[in-house]
Copies of this chain bind each other. A is one copy, B any other.
Amino acid sequence: MNEPLILVSNDDGITSRGIRLLVEAMSEIGEVVVVAPDSPQSGMGHAITIGNTLRLDQNDIFGSSISAFECSGTPADCIKLAKHHVLKNRTPDIVVSGINHGSNSSISVLYSGTMSAAIEAALEGLPAIGFSLCNHNPNASIEHCKPIIKKIVEQVLKTKLPKGIALNVNIPPVSENPIKGIKICRQAIARWEEKFEERFDPNGRRYFWMAGNFENSDKGLDTDESALADNYVAVVPCTYDLTAHHTMAILNEDWKII
């Protein structure tokens, strides 16, 4: 096959270590075009910029052989601008986002800018993958992700993905134990138990910092959390159809107002 066209984005911003390694890995597979935020966008969920202007500027931070653009908007904006402005009539063979510094497993997928780029691409009918390293430290070892990512991208280029699906790939951090393999998982139904720390600014006005602990009560062995705890790479196929189809019959039966 011809050299595949690979669109790369992320949510930590175009200067992060994660996207640098992802670009390096992808440039060994195909032609790379980067459209990524010009500043960190963690926790942006599926936000888009509708009441404000967007900037998009080309740069050469990945060298002269890679087209790279930084965008003032969110990860979802980057994908939209990439498709409709940067690439125009060219269709990427795959869209990859990351490598995120920190886990996007379980419920974190909802808040994840990394995955919103991938899900936006899936909406556009493109095969898409978000990659995250389960270590929040921006200086954490990340090199071990490269062969894993290449393997997964090559698999998706070969067998494609079911239409409208984006993969949420979480990779265990480096440890004494080797990574055991790759598992297809479901999203664990866990949640963040928030705490808000109350402080006062120099003018005596109150403000808060959000903090929290991740609480997983989902004991299923088929979850991403279970796979990661067992030192597997967790791959969750994600959809943008939020309909809880199995509850439609329940509501149709229970509701007297319809």
- Give chain A interface residues in 78-136, CB to chain B under 8 Å: 80-81, 83-85, 107, 109-111, 116, 119, 123-124
Main SS class of interface, A? mixed
Interface size on A, residues (CB 8 A): 80
A224 CB → nearest B CB, Å: 9
* Contact flags A154-169 to B (C-beta < 8 A → 1, else 0): 0100010110110010
A1 CB → nearest B CB, Å: 17
Contact A248 B184 (CB under 8 A): yes
**Stretch from A18-26, A27-35, A171-179, A189-197 at the B interface:** A189-197
- Give chain A interface residues in 225-258, CB to chain B under 8 Å: 235-245, 247-248, 250-252, 254-258
Q: Which residues of A contact B (CB under 8 A)?
A: 40, 42-51, 53-56, 76-77, 80-81, 83-85, 107, 109-111, 116, 119, 123-124, 151-152, 155, 159, 161-162, 164-165, 168, 181-187, 189, 191, 194-196, 198-199, 205-210, 235-245, 247-248, 250-252, 254-258
